Amino acid sequence: MFDALIVIGGLAIWLFGLFDCARTDQDRVRNLPKWAWLIIIIIFGSLGAIAWLLIGRAKSVALPRRRPGRMIPPDDNPDFLKQL
């Protein structure tokens, strides 16, 4: 049972790394070209996917949180009043 979990976990990591690398833009890939990372992931399996996740994948940049915009009624909206 434990062996099956290890195999399924390895397969999940491999598939995630493969699809994540395939979907990542070439400009965001670090250290090697994208095609080289794909070959490494395919040949080395889970180890290649872990290497991709640790050193090949670009770090995600946290976007600043936007405050929801306030609704302005038409009679207070300067752009709307200019159109009249």
pTM for this prediction = 0.65
Is the per-residue pLDDT at 38 higher than 80?
A: yes
State yes or no: pLDDT of 58 exceeds 70: yes
Closest listed residue to residue 16, CA positions, set 61, 55, 60, 52: 52
Residue 81 maps to a domain: no
Q: What is the percent of the chain with per-residue pLDDT over 90, rounded to a whole number?
A: 51
Does residue 51 belong to any structural domain of this protein?
Answer: yes
2 confidence band (pLDDT: 50, 70, 90)? confident
Q: Residue 73 domain-assigned?
A: no
The two tokens of residue 15 are 């598939």
In a domain, 74, yes or no: no
Predicted confidence at residue 63, as pLDDT, reads 62
Q: What's the residue count for the chain? A: 84
Residue range(s) defining the domain that contains residue 34:
2-56
Q: State yes or no: pLDDT of 34 exceeds 80.
A: yes
Please report whether residue 67 resides in a domain.
Answer: no
Whether 82 is covered by a domain: the verdict is no
Q: How many domains does the chain have?
A: 1
Residue pair 17/55 in contact by the 8 Å Cβ criterion: no
> Residue 49 domain-assigned?
yes
